[in-house]
Amino acid sequence: MAEAVQIYEGAVDRGLEGVVACTTAISSIQDANLCYRGYVIDDLAEHSTFEETTFLLWNDRLPKASELQQFKKDLAAEFSLHADYIQILKKIPTQNVHPMAWLRTAVSLMGHWDADANDNSPQANARKAIRLVAKMGTVVCAFEAIRHGKEPVSPQADKSIAWNFMYMLKGGLEPKADFVKVFDTCLILHADHELNCSAFATRVTTSSLSDLHSAMVSALGALKGPLHGGANEQVMLMLRKIGTMDKAQQFVKDALSAKEKVMGIGHRVYKNGDPRAAILRKISEKLTAQMGEPHWYQISTLIDDTMYKEKGLMPNVDFYSATVYYSMGIPIDIYTPIFAVSRVAGWIAHAMEQYANNRIYRPRGKWTGKTGLRWAPVEKR
């Protein structure tokens, strides 16, 4: 007997808001706190590193000293890009192309140089996971070099992912130690965030038992959108458009009157504030002052305070990350690719969890179209 299928006839939840789609033990949002595997984000941001946090997300525990040393060694062994792959990257158009579109193509191509690309065994996926996290920052920095007609800088095997990113991005110049620490903190803060849009895209693709590279491409496509990862880029463009403190409050009032969205403000889940934004706000205040441009922080806080006063809305992680990146001299249009450098760790954790307990996603749609129509010859229509 065919299995009976029940179609939900109640109200449709637009955007699946509040709908539980799966079980997960990777990260959670509870009582206004973000936790990775049970560890509060504030604790990890202050004490951990991106490498250690990635190990935690993948293994459900913090590593022992020897394990962390080996994990970092495994990552370092995969930092570099194959010479033939770099030559292909140079042929991907960079002009009038969004960096996320370029990165999406580059990650898809990465699979062609991976001997494990079509092997979905746990062992092969573990090897691919290491390569993807290790190479993502190298690829983003390669884009920055290539679009300016320069040769990509080779990463240093004895340095961290955060250090290498700042080093390669600046063309091989020694990065400031405080910038490396800030960037590493940013990578931790962005590493995962429960069942967000790109994590869900990862799980949907993974649920078909497609390969890990395909799942990452799906995630990158979702992250590219301005309502997800692209918001941090839009925040900085907004701040530069405002320009000065005397224009900030009027900008917000005009936006509210026109019922326009203020980028980086509000969150679907956090109603009492995003804990990551609170951490980044402190970093933004320090960095903007250090760089002699405190007005970016001041404009941000004025927008922040006005939006809370007028609408009860608070900033999300994208809001203050914009001024943090800007203060470190990072080009605005690679803010979202940086998001991917971090979030690939979380995407992989979701893919692994999905592979381990899989059922293909197949939701239903509530029909709102016409019914009972009959075909008629073209001359009678």
CA 314 to chain centre: 20
Pick from 194, 192, 197: nearest CA to 16: 197
b/e 87-118 (16+ beta carbons within 10 angstroms → b): eebeebeeeeeebbebbbbbbebbbeebebbe
What is the H or E stretch that residue 314 is in?
A: none
Most distant CA atoms of the chain, gap in Å: 79
Q: Give the β-pairing of 33-36 and 39-40.
A: antiparallel
CATH for the 231-327 domain, from 3.30.830.10, 3.30.70.270, 2.60.40.10, 1.10.230.10:
1.10.230.10
Q: What are phi and psi of 27, to 5 degrees?
A: -145, 155
Q: How far apart are CA 63 and CA 61, in angstroms?
A: 6
Q: How far apart are CA 171 and CA 152, in angstroms?
A: 8
Tell me if 332 sits within 8 A of 319, measured CB to CB. Answer: no
- Domain chopping of the chain, boundaries: 27-227+333-356, 231-327
Q: Hey, what amino acid is at 72?
A: K
Per-residue pLDDT tens, the chain, 381 aa: give them.
344 445 555 556 778 877 888 999 999 998 779 999 999 999 999 999 999 999 999 999 999 999 999 999 999 999 999 999 999 999 999 999 999 999 999 999 999 999 999 999 999 999 999 999 999 999 999 999 999 999 999 999 999 999 999 999 999 999 999 999 999 999 999 999 999 999 999 999 999 999 999 999 999 999 999 888 888 899 999 999 999 998 888 888 888 889 888 888 887 777 778 999 999 999 999 999 999 999 999 999 999 998 888 888 889 898 999 999 999 999 999 999 999 999 999 999 999 999 999 999 999 888 899 999 999 999 999
DSSP string, 61-93: SPPPHHHHHHHHHHHHTT-S--HHHHHHHTTS-
What are the C-alpha distances in Å from 159 to residues 44, 175, 217, 251?
Answer: 20, 11, 27, 43
Instruction: Enumerate the active-site residues.
Output: 267, 318
Give burial (CB, 10 Å; 0-12/13-18/19+) of 73: exposed
Q: How far apart are CA 193 and CA 42, in angstroms?
A: 14
DSSP string, 151-203: PPPPPPTTS-HHHHHHHHHTTSPPPPHHHHHHHHHHHHHHS--SS-HHHHHHH
Which pLDDT does position 11 carry in this prediction? Answer: 55
Which pLDDT does position 344 carry in this prediction? Answer: 98
Strands in the chain per DSSP E = 27-30, 33-36, 39-40
CATH for the 27-227+333-356 domain, from 1.10.580.10, 3.30.70.20, 1.20.1440.230, 3.40.50.720:
1.10.580.10
The region, left, alpha or beta by phi > 0 then psi within -120 to 50, assigned to residue 185 is: alpha
Give burial (CB, 10 Å; 0-12/13-18/19+) of 247: middle
| Residue bearing tokens 């679907």 | 268
Which pLDDT does position 4 carry in this prediction? Answer: 47
Q: Kindly report the CA angle at 222 between 219 and 225, in degrees rounded to 5?
A: 145
